[in-house]
Amino acid sequence: MSDDEASKRPGVLATVFAPAKGLLEEVGTLADLAFHAVLWGARPPYRVSLVVTQMEFVGVQSIFLVGLVGLFTGMVFAVQTVYGFRRFGAENMVGGVVALTLSREMAPVLTAIMVAARAGSGMAAELGNMRSSEQIDALETMAVNPVQYLVVPRILAGIVMVPVLALVFFLIGIGGSWAIGVWGMSLDPGIFADRIKTMLVPADLTQGLIKALVFGFTVTLIACRHGYYASGGAVGVGQATTRAVVWSVVAVFLIDYVITSMLTTV
Amino acid sequence: MLDSTDAHVVVEGLVKRYGDRTILHGLDMTIGRAETLVVIGGSGAGKSTLVRHLIALERPTAGRIVIDGTDIASLSDVQLAKARRRFGMVFQKYALFDSMSVFDNVAFPLREQTKLSERDIREKAMTKLKELGVDHAASLMPSQISGGMAKRVGIARALVMEPELLIYDEPTSGLDPVTSRTVDALIEEMRERFGVTSVVITHDMVSAFDIADRIAMLIKGRVVALGSPAEVLAVDNADVQGFISSSGVDVKRFEHRGNRKTAAELAARARERKAGRAE
């Protein structure tokens, strides 16, 4: 190897810290996009029809999927908790435990993952395609700020619709667990409902909704970031879509831990 | 050489680097008001990068782009958005919005930048579509029309706002020869009727020599020839001569340009019209 080639090789320190540097750059890009989204979101014109269109895409079009996942999650959870709690005669607690778990964790987290998989991937692909076909440049040349026109409505839709979807997930999940617990596993319906009433407090639902709101913001921001800055034609758009989903899911679990730690006193 | 009062766009020492790669090596050029400057050069010469700087889609690594006396790289986002209302651009890949019909694509800049009634917007957009011969496709989506039609719709969208500075990135690529000449005629018409300053990137040498007041030839990010078509033809540079001769352009075509109004005449007329509007 020549001296010239050797000099072009990255040093050991650069290699070791490259992932950390990449992560910092990614956070920086996300923060910059979020800042511009807030800035341009506050400025007129307010494009209500675009927000409504995105709410329809993120929310209405996801309801069936989220409801289905919520139903099966509630059903599975009922089966597992009855199985576990019967070992020490505590199956009367099933309703309350299922409600707590769904409201605080399962509903916001699984809803956010469903939204990332369905709407987030769609957003990243659409924006990536708009970038590669110069549609985003065209918006700029027509004096329309692309962040205001494309990113702000998507993030607003995420912030509004993910909590709504999480609530739908929770209610259908409770319904599914009640159906399996009462009809399938002979639990007393009165006790099931009573345990939900006594164990579930408003703070549990609030925590779930706060998480869902933050996840809605995060998932749509990450999807927009990867689509908006996509490069490299069809291959680049495909990679951007994959990255959007993967990083959204990772971010949801990371933020879930942070919020849970902040809002939970043991 | 242009008089400084006639200068619409001034490019000073424009350098663009992406990492270690230098795309533009200190370009200097002045584009006069109501002038049509055609930029030619091989692939990778930096033509598209140059025009993206003219409309502030890229920020220079060094140097300045001065339009109407304002350095556009120094403008804030809001100021730039205002300045861009006077620009128009025809994109190489059409850049039509997939989610809108052909009509809505052309009406989009009118809806965004003017307070015209929906009836006036419809009239203006349909007139422009008709001029380009694509009015029958108004209700279709961009995915339902051919590449040539999409190109014409892209041109209609750029022209509908009657901008002062129009940038065309390969306006005739992918079009048949007859439509290409229609597009050339439209570029000429915009110049003649509205005193529009045009910057045209093209590989179509017939188009270049038909519509250009001046031609700039770029090779590897440097201007190697800049002047009237006749001056560029006479440049003593093997690369320039090789590029032109391999295109097979017919020099005799210039004989048909005798009645063409000069950029200075058109600029004066445009100034008068602007002053009239201000009153």
Cβ contact A140–B113 (<8 Å): no
Residue A35 lies in a domain: no
Residue A174 near residue A98, CB atoms below 8 Å: yes
pLDDT at B16 over 80: yes
Domain count, chain A: 1
Chain A residues contacting B via beta carbons under 8 Å: 129-130, 133-135, 137-138, 140-145
Residue A255 lies in a domain: yes
- Please calculate the CA angle B203-B137-B184 and round it to the nearest 5 degrees: 30
Give residues with Cβ within 8 angstroms of A223, minimum separation 6: A116, A119, A120, A121, A123, A124, A127, A154, A244, A248
Please give the residue that has the higher pLDDT: either B246 or B262.
B246
pLDDT at A247 over 90: yes
Tell me what the mean pLDDT of segment A183-209 comes to: 92
Mutate to test the interface with A, among B84, B167, B169 (most CBs of A within 10 A): B84
pLDDT of A169: 97
pLDDT of B274: 60
Domains of chain B (ranges plus CATH)? 4-86+163-278 (3.40.50.300), 95-162 (no CATH)
How far is CA A187 from its chain centroid? Answer: 34
Residue A184 lies in a domain: yes
**pLDDT tens digits for B21-45?**
999 999 999 999 989 999 998 888 8
Reported as a pLDDT band with limits 50, 70 and 90, residue B79 is confident
The structure's pTM equals 0.85
Residue A153 near residue A54, CB atoms below 8 Å: yes
- Facing A135 at nearest CB: one of B87, B88, B95: B95
Residue A29 lies in a domain: no
User: What letter represents residue B174's amino acid?
Assistant: G
Residue A1 lies in a domain: no
Residue A100 lies in a domain: yes
Distances (CA, A) of A212 to A34, A61, A106, A194: 18, 17, 10, 26
pLDDT of A78: 93
Looking at the complex, report in whole angstroms how far the Cα of residue A143 sits from the nearest Cα belonging to chain B: 4
**pLDDT tens digits for B200-230?**
998 888 888 888 999 999 999 999 999 988 8
pLDDT at B86 over 90: no
Task: Give the chain B residue whose CA is nearest to the CA of A149.
Answer: B112
- Residue A28, token pair as written in the block: 């920086």
Query: Would you tell me how many other CB atoms lie within 10 Å of the CB of residue A166?
Result: 31
Dist CA B3 CA B242 (whole Å): 32
- Please calculate the CA angle A148-A245-A105 and round it to the nearest 5 degrees: 100
Reported as a pLDDT band with limits 50, 70 and 90, residue B73 is confident
Tell me what the mean pLDDT of segment A254-266 comes to: 90
User: What letter represents residue B170's amino acid?
Assistant: E
**pLDDT tens digits for A46-83?**
999 999 999 999 999 999 999 999 999 999 999 999 99
Chain A / chain B CB contacts < 8 angstroms? 48
Residue A2 lies in a domain: no
Task: Give the chain A residue whose CA is nearest to the CA of B93.
Answer: A133
**pLDDT tens digits for A108-126?**
999 999 999 999 999 999 9
- Facing A141 at nearest CB: one of B55, B77, B94: B55
Residues of the domain holding A161: 48-263
